[in-house]
Amino acid sequence: MVNYIIRRLFYAVLIVICVSMLVFGLIRALPGDPIEILVSRTELADAQADPEYFEELRHELGLDKPIPIQFVNWFAKVVQGDFGKSIIKGDDIMQSMGERMVITITLGLTAFVVSNIIGPLLGIISAIRRGKLIDNIVTFIANIGITAPTFWVAILLVYLFGYVLHWLPLYGYTLPWKDFGLSLRQGIMPVFVMALGPIASTARQTRSSMLEVLGEDYIRTAWAKGLNERQVIFRHALKNSLMPVVTLQGQMIRQIFGGSFIVETIFVIPGMGKLMIDAMLSHDYPTIQAVTLILTVVVVIANLIVDLLYGWIDPRIQYE
């Protein structure tokens, strides 16, 4: 087990470095120049539109060096906990990401927990009542949840519950420990949008896996012994049907945190996703690199935890 964890940690670090290198190179290949955007936003834009002034700024920010050298310099600072400063705003990126990171993780974890409670529950009910009305309803809702675009669902909820009914706030998010009531009202729509896809996928996977397990010989033996439905489902069938569902969790985490970009933009939530979108629009290289690195680390660690859960669910799995 220890060797397996060490090997996976090595691969995790390698993945983080590769993703960082890829993003580092791709954002510099995009059309647009952050220096021009920076100068255009200053009061002296006309006076400073001098090629020498542009080159001076590039030299100060280290953008005149070859891309591999830029990456090595940047990553060396990141390892020391220094993410640098924003090209456009000049703010310290680590401080800018502070509360934004907490907001994104709070919303993401809430959506993840909600999806892992409601999704499997719907899947179990659907499998137990196969062919009945509740099964058809769950299947219909799951199909909609998987196919409906995130941005479309978010805009529809904003229009219905915000503009028409005035039940929920249209935008913003407050952390629970600052104002729990306001946080709850502001978080309902974003969490629902982020959790809808994972709930649908988990429900379908749980239903499929549960139906397969319920057809096994040992389940028929449990029924023959006179065990009631609750004992058969929760004592014998549920745990053995969880493996495919657990496998799905790594993908769900990527989907949730990846969807934060759209959700935070539509609901104007000051999280990491909104920060990333704003940075991309202004070609703020250091901020894009920092946000990508943080989100990559979160996803990689989550996948590692999911892999380790396999052994707890299925003791037959041996880590070598």
DSSP characters for 269-300? --SHHHHHHHHHHTT-HHHHHHHHHHHHHHHH
Structural domain spans, the chain: 2-79, 99-281
Q: Check if the beta carbon of residue 284 is closer than 8 Å to that of residue 34.
A: yes
Taking the alpha carbons of 280, 283, 289, 290 in that order, is the dihedral positive or negative?
negative
> Which of 7-11, 161-165, 173-177, 311-315 bottoms out in mean pLDDT, i.e. has the lowest?
311-315
Residue where the block lists tokens 């429900």: 203
Please, what's the b/e burial string for 134-147 (b: 16 or more CB within 10 A of its CB; e: otherwise)? ebeebbebbeebee
Averaged pLDDT, 164-173: 88
Phi and psi at residue 92, to the nearest 5°: -70, 125
Q: What is the mean pLDDT of residues 31-60?
A: 68
| pLDDT of res. 184 | 92
Q: How many C-alpha atoms does 157 have within 13 Å on its Cβ side?
A: 24
- pLDDT at residue 43 is higher than 60: no
In sequence order, the 6+-apart residues with CB closer than 8 A to the CB of 53 are 39
Q: Can you tell me the mean pLDDT for 293-297?
A: 86
| 62 closest CA partner among 290, 282, 276, 286 | 286
Instruction: Tell me the percentage of the chain whose pLDDT exceeds 70.
Output: 92
Write b or e for each residue in 87-121: b if 16 or more Cβ atoms lie within 10 A of its Cβ, otherwise e: bbbeeebeebbeebbebbbbbbebbbebbbebbbe
How does residue 239 score in pLDDT terms, banded at 50, 70 and 90?
Answer: confident
* Mean pLDDT in residue range 75-102: 84
pTM for the model: 0.81
Write the pLDDT tens digit of every residue in 250-279.
Answer: 777 877 877 788 898 899 898 888 888 888
Burial of 283 (0-12, 13-18, 19+ CB in 10 A): buried
Whether the pLDDT of residue 180 is over 70: the answer is yes
CATH of domain 99-281: 1.10.3720.10
Distance from chain centroid for Cα 217:
39
Per-residue pLDDT band at 41 (split at 50, 70, 90): low
Read off the pLDDT of residues 186-222 as tens digits, 9 standing for 90 and up: 999 999 999 998 899 889 888 888 888 887 777 778 7
Q: Is the pLDDT of residue 282 over 90?
A: no
Q: In angstroms, how far is CA 17 from the centroid of its own chain?
A: 19
Q: First vs last Cα of the chain: how many Å apart?
A: 7
pLDDT category, 314, cuts 50, 70, 90? low
| Encoded tokens for 192 | 């629902």
- For residue 1, pLDDT beyond 80: no
The answer to whether the CB of 268 falls within 8 A of the CB of 172 is yes
Listed range (44-48, 61-65, 143-147) with the worst mean pLDDT: 44-48
d(CA 257, CA 282): 22
Identify which has the larger pLDDT, 101 or 52: 101
